Amino acid sequence: MIFEETFEMWNGVTIPKLALGTWLIENANASDAVKNALEIGYRHIDTAQAYGNEAGVGDGIRRSGIPRAEIFITSKVAAERKSYEAARTSIDNSLKQSGLDYLDLMLIHCPQPWSEYHQSKNHYLEENRQVWRAMGEAYQAGKLRAIGVSNFEESDLENIFSDCSVKPMVNQILVHIAHTPMELIRYCQKKDILVEAYSPIAHGDALHNPMIQKMAQKYKVSVAQLCIQYILQLCLVALPKTESPDHMRENATLAFEITDTDMKRLYQLQN
């Protein structure tokens, strides 16, 4: 069962390979979505301060009746919080909002504020080091079991390495068929940083790609299942998002393997 499969981060903490992403799930709906996912078998839930649904996620965890220790919860320091104090306060607020005693993983959501992402040459190097210091202190205090980053390029990671006592365990980035930044993935893996793939179904665009549709038909699976399996065979964590229990079940039904030849064909389908 995919729910029982995990990766191990460099600090020894294990993380389930398949997660429920909660981006764009309203706080009012997050509790039911998380509760349903946990009842189906998911044990990894991904949220963020920016999603505005940490309270709903925490409520769904409590309503599920699943022991907290069996669930892996990720959140993210908002991209706009670029100071030590803002990051430190936001971590405590995430715990308060979710009603949890600790988070399993906290990430810096983006090296730049979203309004400047891919628009500005300023990568907030000093500011990100301050945020990382706050996260490192929360990690050492036991509030966080692991810490990492999201949307970080190699230069952003090198900046963290230049002044840190605890190196990142995770980099969560956009990865899907037709967009597989293999150079960055290999760099992270060389540095013992686990890569998580968000939007593995390409924000839904993969559902309409004729080549991907044909490949899915060959394996007698859905396009979503093919996309998720592609991510897992790259040895990345897959973070598909959905509110639908039927889609949650489908996304976790992965009793097939993509051949090496077909993996290469899918990788070569680059934007």
Catalytic residues: 51
Residue showing tokens 């593995």: 200
How many angstroms separate the Cα of 36 from the Cα of each of 15, 41, 230, 247, 255?
A: 20, 9, 25, 11, 22
Sign of torsion, CA 206 208 209 213?
Answer: positive
If one counts every other C-beta atom within 10 angstroms of the C-beta of residue 136, the result is 17
Q: Phi, psi (5° rounding) for residue 81?
A: -90, 95
Which residues are CB-neighbours of 140 under 8 A, at least 6 positions away?
166
Phi, psi of 139 (to 5 degrees): -65, -45
In terms of Cα–Cα distance, which of 91, 5, 112, 14 is closest to 48? 91
Output Rg (C-alpha) for the chain, integer angstroms. Answer: 18
For residue 53, count CB atoms less than 10 angstroms from its CB and return exposed for 0-12, middle for 13-18, buried for 19 or more.
buried
Give the total residue count for the chain.
271
CA 152, CA 131: separation in Å to the nearest integer? 14
Location of structure tokens 């949890």: 100
- DSSP structure class, residue 17: S
